[in-house]
Structure 1
C-alpha cells in the first residue's frame, strides 16, 4: 500500500518550526526539580500539547471530509491553540523568568493594550520579588491573554475568508444569470446606448446581440483585473493560516463584471445625459473597462479591513 506524502503548507511550516523550538526548550530544562512539583506538571502539559500539535499538522482526512474541515478550519485553529498552550507550559516549567522576561514582555505587548492589567503586571514584575508560584501565575496569565487574542484573530480571519467565498459565489451566479438571459433573449438586458444627438451603439455593433452582456462582463472583469494586479504588487508576504488575496481578487473581478453591466444600463437610461456621451462602439467598450475598474472604490475598504485582520493573525512580529 502506497503511503500518501504529507502536505506542506505555509502555516504547517511555521507551526512545525515553533513545535521544534518547544521540544528543544523542554530538553534544555534538564532533569525535573523534585522540590518544584508544579514544574513537573507543566512539563507534562507541554508534552501533551506538543503531541496534539503533531497530530494536527500530520492530520489527514478522507477527501469527502476535507472540504468541511477546510471550511471550518478546525485542524488549523486547534494546532495553533495547542501550540500556544505548549509554549506557555514550557515557560512555566522553568525555575525562573529572568532571562525570558524581555521576550515575554515583547510578545505580550504585541497583543495586549498598554493599560491591560495583565500586561502591566508582567512589565512591573521583578524576578525574586514574589515567590516562584506567584511569578509563574503572573506570566502564565499574561501569556494566555496574549495568545487568546491571536487565536481569536485566526477565527476572525477564517470568518472573513468564508464570507468572501460566499460573496464570490453569489456574484458568480448573478453574472452567469445575466449572461444567460442576454444570450437567450437579446435586448432584454439592453446594453445599447444612444441619444437624440448621438447614434445608437451596441457592444457588438449597431444592433442588440446575444453576446452583448457577456462582452460587457468580460471587459468589466478585465478592468477589475488591473486593480487586482495592483493589490498583488502592494501585498506584503504573510504566513497567516488563511490567505485572503485570491478571494479578494475574485471579488474584484466578479464585482467589476457586474458593475460594468449596471454602468452601461445607466448610460443607456440617460442618467449621465449632458455629462457623458458615447459616440462609438470603441467608446462604449472603453467605458465597460473603466466601470469594471471603478469597483476599486468599493473594494478598497475591503482590502484595508482584510489587511488589518491578517496583520492581527499573522504569527510573525509586526
Structure 2
C-alpha cells in the first residue's frame, strides 16, 4: 500500500538526517537520542513491513489501522528527537513548514499554537493568513539563530503536540470508518437474509398487490401476474372464477420476487452512490472512508426498496396501495432504492466533516487582506 512505501521512505530520510547530524556535529551526550531515534525508525519499518506479532496472534482483524498509527507515531517521535539534535540553522529553515503543521492541527485558541506563532513572528516569518505576523521587525540572521536555539524546547514540544493532534484526528477517522464498515456489513447481511427468506417462503411477506375494478380483481407481483377473478363475497359474474385472494396470492408469488426487488433497489442505490462520489471532495487519507460511504448505499438501497413496497402493500401510503402491473412495482422499487439517499446523505455529511478535520492543509485558506 502507499502508506507503507511512504513510511519506508520517510524512515530512510530521517535515518540519513540522523547520520548527517552525528558526523557534522558529534556530541557524546546525544547518544541517548540517537539510540531512541533508531528504535523508533525500526518500529516504523516493522509496521510498514507488517512484521510478525510477538506473541503471535492467529486471528487479527482490522490490523491495517493500528499499523498505520504505529508507523506514524514512531516517525513523529523520531522527528521530534531529531529537532533536538539538528543545528539551529537547519531548524530555522524548517520553521515555515513547522508553522503550517502547527496551524493545520492545533486550533487558533490553543496556547501552544499562539506561542509558536509568536516565535515565528520574532523570526520574521510572514503568514498571509495571520496579519499579526506580517508586521514583523527585521531580524539579523545571527539573532534568528539565537532565538531558535533559545526556544528549541518550546519548538519541539509544540510540534510534537501538533503531531499528536494529527494522529488523534486519524484515530477518529478510522473509528468512524469502522462504524460505517460495520453498518455496511450489517445491512448487507440483512438484505441477504430478506432475499433468502423470500426465496424459501415466498408467502411470508409477498410484495403483491390486488387492484380491483368493477368487482374483478387480479394479483400483481414483481415477477408474475394472475388472471382475473372475483374475490370471495363479491358479485359472481359469468366466466370469471370466484376465489380467495390469499390463495391466488400464494399461487402468483414467486421465490425470486424479493431478489428482483432488492436488485432493482441496489441498482438505484448504485446510481445515487455515483452521484454522491461526484460531489464528494478528494481525500489523501489512508482509510478509504469515501469508498466505505459509497458501499453503504448499496445494501441500504436494497433494504429500502423492500421496506418501501412493504409499506405500500400495508396501505401506509393512501392512494398508492393498488399497483396495476409488475412494471409499476419495479418502478417503485427503483424510487425507494434511490430514496436511501435521504438517510445516507446525513452519513455523507458527517463523513465529509470528519475528512475536513483531518485534511487541515487542504482547507481553503483565506487570502491576504486588501491593502
Please tell me the TM-score bracket, short chain as reference. Answer: 0.7 to 0.9
What is residue 107 of structure 1 aligned with on the other side?
101
What is residue 56 of structure 1 aligned with on the other side?
47
Matched, 1:201 2:220: yes
**C-alpha distance in 1, partners of 2:172/2:15?**
29
Shift of 1:226: 0.7
What is residue 293 of structure 1 aligned with on the other side?
338
For the residue of structure 1 that corresponds to 2:92, the secondary structure is coil
How many residue pairs end up in the alignment? Answer: 307
What is residue 81 of structure 1 aligned with on the other side?
73
Structure 1 stretch displaced more, 27-36 or 226-235: 27-36
What is residue 324 of structure 2 aligned with on the other side?
279
**C-alpha distance in 2, partners of 1:131/1:263?**
66
What is residue 233 of structure 2 aligned with on the other side?
none
**C-alpha distance in 1, partners of 2:302/2:322?**
21
For the residue of structure 2 that corresponds to 1:73, the secondary structure is helix
Shift of 1:304: 2.2
Which residues of structure 1 form unaligned runs of 5+? 1-8
TM-score by length of structure 1 reads 0.85
**C-alpha distance in 2, partners of 1:40/1:135?**
22
Matched, 1:181 2:197: yes
Instruction: Work out which structure has the larger RCO, using CA pairs closer than 8 Å and 6 or more positions apart in sequence.
Output: 1
Matched, 1:17 2:9: yes
Q: Is the 8 A contact 1:12 1:57 kept in 2?
A: yes
Q: Which has the larger radius of gyration?
A: 2
Q: CA offsets, 1:80-127, max 9 Å, x none?
A: 100111222222222323222111111100000111110111111134
**C-alpha distance in 2, partners of 1:43/1:315?**
31
Please show how residues 224-303 of structure 1 align to structure 2 within 5 Å.
224-274=269-319, 278-303=323-348
**C-alpha distance in 2, partners of 1:71/1:173?**
23
Please show how residues 119-158 of structure 1 align to structure 2 within 5 Å.
119-125=113-119, 126=122, 127=144, 132=149, 134-158=150-174
Q: Is the 8 A contact 2:207 2:222 kept in 1?
A: yes
**C-alpha distance in 2, partners of 1:94/1:160?**
38
Please show how residues 208-219 of structure 1 align to structure 2 within 5 Å.
208-219=253-264
Which residues of structure 2 form unaligned runs of 5+? 123-143, 226-251, 364-371
**C-alpha distance in 2, partners of 1:251/1:272?**
27
For the residue of structure 1 that corresponds to 2:62, the secondary structure is helix
TM-score by length of structure 2 reads 0.74
**C-alpha distance in 1, partners of 2:191/2:184?**
10
What is residue 248 of structure 2 aligned with on the other side?
none
Q: CA offsets, 1:260-298, max 9 Å, x none?
A: 000001111112223686332111101111111111111
